[in-house]
Amino acid sequence: MENIRILSEYACFGGTQSFYEHDSSSIGLPMRFGVYKPPQAQYHAVPTLIYLAGLTCNEETFAIKAGAQRMAAELGLAIVTPDTSPRGANIEGESDAWDFGLGAGFYVDATQQPWAKHWQMRHYLTQELHVLLVQQFEADAQKIGIFGHSMGGHGALTLALNYPNLYRSVSAFAPIAAPSQCPWGVKALTGYLGSDPTHWGLYDATELVNHGARTHHILIDQGTSDKFLADQLHTHLFEKACLKAGQALTLRYQPGYDHGYYFIASFVADHLRHHAQLY
């Protein structure tokens, strides 16, 4: 495959878990991503789910921690796991904070310097990676879904709301659902997009729904013991917006679960089934 370098590959539940690197024209740097191909992919094109990870994570985190491959093999789903930010730009201060810069791309197209040159994650996902999956990995363009966790849940919701014809199914674990109203979001959106909140709307799921954006039936799981729920996630604001707008939403509060990957692993099979039933 032109311009794509395979870094590693492993047999996994009858399929393969692989990790790749390619020279991204959108980012201007090499980008990495993982691909799980179920056994059915040997014979025909299968639906593809793109998983967006959260703060500090990378292209390997979900593949290693979520335990999703067993159910993906049963359902015949491919899972693609992009990295969470550009790497190798060597911008001063890019690694000073865990919630901004490296591992914290927030799936936006930055407009502020010095980030604007490389931090073009929205364009990378919706244009470059999408085309690459269809052309090089034989993904069916009509059967691509998106899901994610925390910052990645924010990314999944906003991309699905902005591109309902690109992503045919959507779900999220503990998403940052109203980033314009929480410390993580305000810091990231200010840093990448500038201090004017009117420029943030494309990247706030609650604001998108409030202003008429719609997508397919959304599934969200949220742990009640998540220490970030009250101050950072604002799930209730997104729920209120969806209820008012008539956006189809299944929101499940899971008693006792926190923000981490034990929570994700507990409910990931439900999310894969949610996506699979729409194909």
Tens digits of pLDDT across the chain (279 residues): 558 999 999 999 999 999 999 999 999 999 999 999 999 999 999 999 999 999 999 999 999 999 999 999 999 999 999 999 999 999 999 999 999 999 999 999 999 999 999 999 999 999 999 999 999 999 999 999 999 999 999 999 999 999 999 999 999 999 999 999 999 999 999 999 999 999 999 999 999 999 999 999 999 999 999 999 999 999 999 999 999 999 999 999 999 999 999 999 999 999 999 999 988
pLDDT, tens digit, 9 for 90 and up, residues 99-146: 999 999 999 999 999 999 999 999 999 999 999 999 999 999 999 999
Q: Which of 18, 26, 85, 150 is catalytic?
A: 150
Whether 150 is catalytic = yes
- Name residue, tokens 């490296």: 102
Cα 18 from chain centroid?
Answer: 18
User: For residue 2, what pLDDT is reported?
Assistant: 57
CATH of residue 127's domain is 3.40.50.1820
E strands, the chain, where? Answer: 4-12, 15-23, 30-37, 48-52, 78-82, 144-149, 170-173, 218-223, 249-254
**Domains: count for the chain:** 1
Quote the CA–CA distance of 274 and 279 in Å, as a whole number: 10
Q: Which of 83, 109, 221, 226 is catalytic?
A: 226
Q: Are 170 and 242 in contact (CB under 8 A)?
A: no
Q: Which of 234, 259, 271, 275 is catalytic?
A: 259
Count the neighbouring beta carbons within 10 Å of the beta carbon of residue 45.
16
User: For residue 279, what pLDDT is reported?
Assistant: 87
Quote the CA–CA distance of 272 and 90 in Å, as a whole number: 37
pLDDT, tens digit, 9 for 90 and up, residues 89-110: 999 999 999 999 999 999 999 9
User: For residue 278, what pLDDT is reported?
Assistant: 87
Whether 226 is catalytic = yes
Beta bridge partners of 120: 109
> Residue 19's domain spans which residues?
4-276
